[in-house]
Structure 1
Amino acid sequence: MAICPLCNSLKVVEIKCPKCNALLDNAGKVADFMDPYNHYKDEEIAKMDDGYPNTAKDQICPHLMVCRKCGYDKVIFIQEE
C-alpha cells in the first residue's frame, strides 16, 4: 500500500496564494473534512468518501491548502509513493 508523503511529513509543499502571494497552509486531507471519523477508518475506505472517484485507484491524496491571510483555498492532489 502506498503512503502520502505529505500526510507522513516526508515532503513539504510550498504553494503561493494567487490572490495575496502568501504561502498556503496544508489544512489536511479532504476526506477528514467530509466525515469527522474518517481518520479512524482504513485509508482505502476513507477514500471512498472524499468526493473524488479515482483517488484510491490512482493512489493520490487530495489535500486542502488554505491561505490564512486572505481565505483563498485550493485542493491539490499528492501522488502517493
Structure 2
Amino acid sequence: MGEAILACPNCDNSMFDQGRIYDYYDDYSPYMDIDVIKLADGDPVSSQKDECVHLFKCPNCGFDVQKKITIT
C-alpha cells in the first residue's frame, strides 16, 4: 500500500494511496503513457497539468475516494 495521507470520512482511519486511477481501467493501462490515458478523463486540459488522479482506500471500512495529486 502507498502512503497514508487522508483521513477516512467514514471511520477516521488512515486511507492509503492505491496508485493512479488510470491503472484500474483495464489490464494494459499500467503500461500506457500517462499523457495518453489522461485524455480519457474528458478534460483535454488535464493532460497539460502536473497532476494525476489517484485512488485512496480505507483498509478499515473499505471506503474509497479519488483525489488529484501533484506530480513532482
- With normalisation by structure 1, the TM-score equals 0.72
1:59 is aligned to: 50
Corresponding letter in the other structure for 2:37 = A
Structure 2 stretches of 5 or more lacking a match?
Answer: none
- Higher strand share goes to which structure? 2
On the 8 A contact 2:4/2:14 being kept in 1, the answer is no
Report the Cα offset of residue 58 of structure 1.
2.0
Q: Structure 2 matches for 1:1-81, cutoff 5 A? A: 12=3, 14-49=5-40, 51=41, 53=43, 54-81=45-72
Number of aligned residue pairs: give it.
70
Structure 1 stretches of 5 or more lacking a match?
Answer: 1-8
- Higher helix share goes to which structure? 2
Report the Cα offset of residue 19 of structure 1.
1.0
Percentage of pairs with the same residue: 26
- Divergent runs of 4+, >2 A: none
Higher relative contact order (CA 8 A, sep 6+): 1
- The 1-side partners of 2:42 and 2:11 are apart by 28
Give me the CA root mean square deviation. 1.9
- The 2-side partners of 1:52 and 1:80 are apart by 19
